[in-house]
Structures are given as structure tokens and as C-alpha cells.
């Protein structure tokens, strides 16, 4: 269950929606995330009251089209799967939102099953029956 935060400079609602769709589709395609497993925070920065800073670290010429994508997910994916995810996010961000791949900055933060509560104050991934404590499961409904 990934949790995604996307920050983009001068992004309107349509661009943020397109970026969110790009990241979610990439997660589904490359990591096998369930299609209904979407939890995202989408934030546009106007460059006046809030901004995003960037540099040319790594020899990449970024510009005002910069997008920061932070994905928190449970540990265990192979490096090749992560590389496929990065590529697919950049491709889909370009296709859906017109964001140049050079402006797509992605970071993954991994954690353990105990680090998640999906609601109802329960740690569902630790429960012997993963539906325990989930809405509609009968356990805590």
C-alpha cells in the first residue's frame, strides 16, 4: 500500500490529477499494486507564497517544470522493479502531464508492516487475518 506525495511548481488541478494518475498507473504496472490502492497528496506550489528549489545535481538540467514524487511503501522490492517504476513514472508524467522526464524527481521510502494503519486504529498488515479491522470486515464495523 503505497502512500504518495506529489509536489509540483505552478501546477493547476488538471496537471496534478495527471501526475497522480501517472504515478498510480506506474505503481500498478511495475510493482503490482492493486488498482484500488490509491492514497495520494497532490500539492501545487505557486512560486510566490511557496516554491520548490532544485539544482543541477547529477548533471540533470531541471527547470520550473520540476515535480517531486515521494512514495512510501513496504520494503521488499528488487532494485530492477524500482528502476522500472522510475522509468514508467517519467514516461507517464510526460504523456499525461507534459512533464519532461528530466524534471521528474522520485524518492522511495521503505518501511515495515508494523508502520501502517489503514484506518480504525488497527495495524491491518500485522493481523493474522488481513481484513481484521478493515471497514466492512465485521471485526470493527
Consecutive H or E run containing 139:
none
* Helices and strands (DSSP H and E) totals, the chain: 2, 4
Q: What is the rounded distance in angstroms from the CA atom of residue 9 to the CA atom of residue 29? A: 26
Cβ(31)–Cβ(24) below 8 Å: no
Residue 25 grid coordinates? 498507473
In Å, the largest CA–CA distance within the chain is 54
- Cell numbers 493474522 correspond to what residue? 128
Supply the residues annotated as catalytic.
2
Bridge partners of residue 4, in order along the sequence: 40, 71
Alpha carbon distance 31, 47 (integer Å):
33
Amino acid at each position: 500500500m503505497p502512500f504518495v506525495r506529489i509536489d509540483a511548481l505552478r501546477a493547476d488541478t488538471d496537471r496534478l490529477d495527471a501526475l497522480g494518475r501517472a504515478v498510480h498507473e506506474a505503481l500498478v504496472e511495475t510493482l503490482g499494486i492493486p488498482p484500488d490502492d490509491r492514497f495520494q497528496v497532490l500539492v501545487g506550489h505557486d512560486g510566490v507564497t511557496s516554491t520548490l528549489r532544485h539544482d543541477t545535481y547529477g548533471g540533470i538540467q531541471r527547470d520550473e517544470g520540476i515535480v517531486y514524487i515521494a512514495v512510501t511503501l513496504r520494503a521488499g522490492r528488487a532494485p530492477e522493479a524500482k528502476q522500472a517504476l522510475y522509468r514508467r513514472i517519467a514516461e507517464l508524467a510526460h504523456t499525461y502531464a507534459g512533464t519532461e522526464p528530466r524534471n521528474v524527481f522520485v524518492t522511495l521510502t521503505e518501511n515495515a508492516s508494523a508502520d501502517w494503519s489503514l484506518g480504525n486504529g488497527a495495524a491491518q498488515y500485522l493481523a493474522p487475518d488481513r481484513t481484521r479491522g478493515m471497514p466492512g470486515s465485521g471485526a470493527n464495523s
